[in-house]
Amino acid sequence: VVVSQTAAALNQFLLIKSCKPTTLSTQIPEINLSDPEAKTLIVKACQEFGFFKLVNHGIPLEFMANLENEAQRFFKKPQSEKDKTGPPDPFGYGSKRIGSNGDIGWIEYLLLTTNPDVITPKSHFIFQQNPENFRYAVEGYLGEVKRMCYEVLELMADGLGIKQRNVFSRLLKDEKSDSCFRLNHYPPCPEVQALNRGNLVGFGEHTDPQIISVLRSNNTAGLQICLRDGSWVSVPSDHTSFFINVGDTLQVMTNGRFKSVKHRVLADTTKHRLSMIYFGGPPLSEKIAPLPSLMSTEEKSLYKEFTWWEYKKAMYNTRLGDDRLEPFQKS
């Protein structure tokens, strides 16, 4: 009886679906940041997968370990304490609900802005409510990750043969850059194992709207990416590496050469998954369109021009799994 009640609850709220990855043999591209061929390999990975693993990135592991500790400390707090720093509208603490259009997952998270001059009262409050170490750990981590991310974006531009190496990175370096940061905690769910059916969706399938996302997780698996043929591949976890996603905006700026990768996270039945993701976005007023420096003379833009603000406004009215670029495609 207990099990069937749990089953009903999980079914109703948490979308148990059978979603075993259908491809097991595909190798996720792995890029060594200090490889002289890195720029070429990055471009290839972004065209074929919209996704790659980054090794030899030069960021000392203590930055990751430090933040992981602080995040763990936060998520271990009593629910009532965590709830004081929510809801995520759009920044703050959230549990199970993702966005505001009915998406749910087996997850709790903190969403923060990374722009010091648009720090919202909510972000201030989160850090006020926690020991200062938490803020230092976030700032220390982001300082390193941003620097590395600019380098990756410059390699992308270079690899695409664009003379202006900072065409992408300048948007994130801009003091008005609309970037954000997310700490995700996927608690284990032993009931699902007991029920022995399907998987528990932690974060449903979606693409990231921004330019680029940089993910780091602890050693608990769960992330899956969707290949061009529609099959799903599990990404083996590696707490020493980063995983890079191409976002919708980068797909548009490259006129579809780079693919915004569809991905999702399944919760583990026995282990905690903790991930930290930096989403690099342009300033709100930035006009998003394919880069003229990339287009051949007869090439036509696949997209209608829009500002990042317009895209964001539209995005908050979508469900997670929606194709957010579709309304901006030229027919």
> Footprint of ligand GA4 on this chain (CB under 6 A)?
90, 98-99, 101, 103, 111, 180, 182, 206, 208-209, 279, 315-316, 318-320
Annotated catalytic residues are: 273
Using only the alpha carbons of the chain, give its radius of gyration: 20
Minimum CB distance to ligand GA4, residue 101 (Å): 6
Nearer to ligand GA4, 90 or 159 (CB): 90
Residue 316, Cβ neighbours under 10 Å: how many?
11
Q: How many residues does the chain have?
A: 331
Task: Give one DSSP letter per residue of 73-112, joined into a string.
Answer: HHHTS-HHHHHTT---SSSEEEEEEETTTTEEEEEEEEEE
Nearer to ligand GA4, 57 or 263 (CB): 263
Identity of residue 95: S
Cβ atoms of 294 and 254 closer than 8 Å: yes
CA-to-CA distance for 247 and 312, rounded, in angstroms?
13
- Cross-strand pairs, 95: 108
CA-to-CA distance for 188 and 223, rounded, in angstroms?
14
Minimum CB distance to ligand GA4, residue 150 (Å): 20
Cβ atoms of 92 and 111 closer than 8 Å: yes
Nearer to ligand GA4, 169 or 275 (CB): 275
Nearest to 223 by CA among 279, 280, 277, 181: 277
Residue with the CB atom nearest ligand GA4 in the bound state: 99
Minimum CB distance to ligand GA4, residue 161 (Å): 29
Nearer to ligand GA4, 99 or 187 (CB): 99
Minimum CB distance to ligand GA4, residue 133 (Å): 24
Minimum CB distance to ligand GA4, residue 58 (Å): 26
CA-to-CA distance for 61 and 116, rounded, in angstroms?
24
State the Cα angle at 285 between 280 and 286, rounded to 5°.
Answer: 60
Nearer to ligand GA4, 154 or 208 (CB): 208
Assigned token pair, 163: 């003379």
